């Protein structure tokens, strides 16, 4: 069995979708959902689905090895970032394999401050013809790790940031859990 810890800062619709996808899965288990925001709706969603939830502070995340030890004690094999907004500290990157989803076609529209609606606002403002999602490994720089999967979608002339966000979310729901599953079977069966 491979254990996943999900990190998320916001609403958590991707986290919920991933939890549902892996319910009763033969070799993947969602161990826990972690958030740096006490009030984040993701914690409620996870709790409703019977997944253990954890809140953590910046000091716990980057000031000590407490969280790393706890995740290792829980036998977490993979950390999945699903709308998680802090830069992951180097010691974390060294300790775990980490996968992130970004709501644009990296390397464009990535980096510090480029998340969620800010990404879609920039894409619409620049009248891009296409956007999409990038699922990638996390390294020590924002949005710079090796790509696992990119999927494109059109940006329509009358799109607003909200209509584009909805289209991108649909792509995320369709591709993110499967990409995680494929990654796990590829890496751990090798
Ligand atoms: C998702 O669109 C995800 O790609 C994005 O935040 C959203 C979270 O939505 N992540 C980033 O922007 C990371 N840079 P959700 O909370 O409903 O899953």
Q: For residue range 56-72, what is the model confidence (pLDDT) as tens digits?
A: 999 999 988 999 999 99
Mean pLDDT of the chain, nearest integer: 96
Structure tokens, 99: 């996968």
> What are the tens digits of pLDDT across the range 102-114?
999 999 999 988 9
Q: What is the mean pLDDT of residues 23-50?
A: 97
Nearest CA owner, ligand 1 atom 12: 115
Q: Which of 44, 82, 110 to mutate to test the pocket of ligand 1 (most atoms within 8 A of CB)?
A: 82
Peptide bond into 107 cis (omega under 30): yes
Question: Does the structure show a pLDDT above 90 at 135?
Answer: yes
Q: Calculate the alpha carbon distances from 124 to 48, 85, 135, 150, 156 in Å.
A: 35, 21, 21, 19, 9
Q: What is the CATH number of the domain that holds 69?
A: 3.40.50.170
Per-residue model confidence (pLDDT) at position 180: 98
Q: How many other CB atoms are there within 10 angstroms of residue 105's CB atom?
A: 20
Pocket of ligand 1 contains residue 101 by CB under 6 Å: yes
The parent domain of residue 184 ranges over 2-189
The answer to whether 18 and 80 have CB atoms below 8 angstroms apart is yes
Q: Please, are residues 180 and 100 in contact by the beta-carbon 8 Å criterion? A: no
Supply the pTM of this predicted model.
0.97
Provide the number of structural domains found in the chain. Answer: 1
CB 36 within 8 A of CB 58: yes
Any ligand 1 atom below 6 A from CB of 167: no
190 C-alpha vs ligand 1 centroid, how far in Å?
30
Per-residue pLDDT, averaged over 17-35, amounts to 97
190, pLDDT greater than 70: no
Q: Is 12 left (phi over 0), alpha (psi -120 to 50) or beta?
A: left
82 within ligand 1 shell (Cβ under 6 A)? yes
**Residue 189 reports pLDDT greater than 90:** no
3-class DSSP assignment, residue 17: helix
Q: Which residue's CA is the nearest one to ligand 1's atom 11?
A: 115
């Amino acid at each position: 069995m491979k254990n996943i810890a999900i990190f998320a800062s916001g609403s958590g619709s991707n986290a919920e979708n991933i939890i549902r996808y892996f319910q009763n899965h033969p070799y993947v288990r969602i161990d826990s959902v972690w958030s740096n925001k006490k009030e984040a709706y993701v914690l409620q969603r996870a709790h409703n689905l019977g997944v253990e939830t954890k809140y953590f502070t910046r000091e716990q995340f980057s000031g000590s090895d407490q969280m790393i030890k706890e995740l290792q004690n829980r036998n977490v094999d993979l950390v999945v970032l699903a709308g998680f907004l802090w830069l992951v500290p180097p010691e974390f990157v060294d300790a775990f394999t980490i996968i992130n989803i970004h709501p644009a076609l990296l390397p464009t529209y990535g980096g510090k401050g480029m998340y969620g609606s800010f990404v879609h606002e920039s894409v619409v403002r620049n009248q891009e013809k296409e956007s999409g999602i990038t699922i990638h490994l996390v390294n020590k720089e924002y949005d710079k790790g090796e790509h696992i999967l990119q999927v494109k979608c059109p940006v329509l002339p009358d799109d607003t940031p909200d209509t584009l966000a909805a289209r991108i979310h649909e792509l995320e729901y369709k591709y993110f859990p499967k990409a995680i599953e494929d990654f796990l079977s590829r890496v751990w069966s090798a």
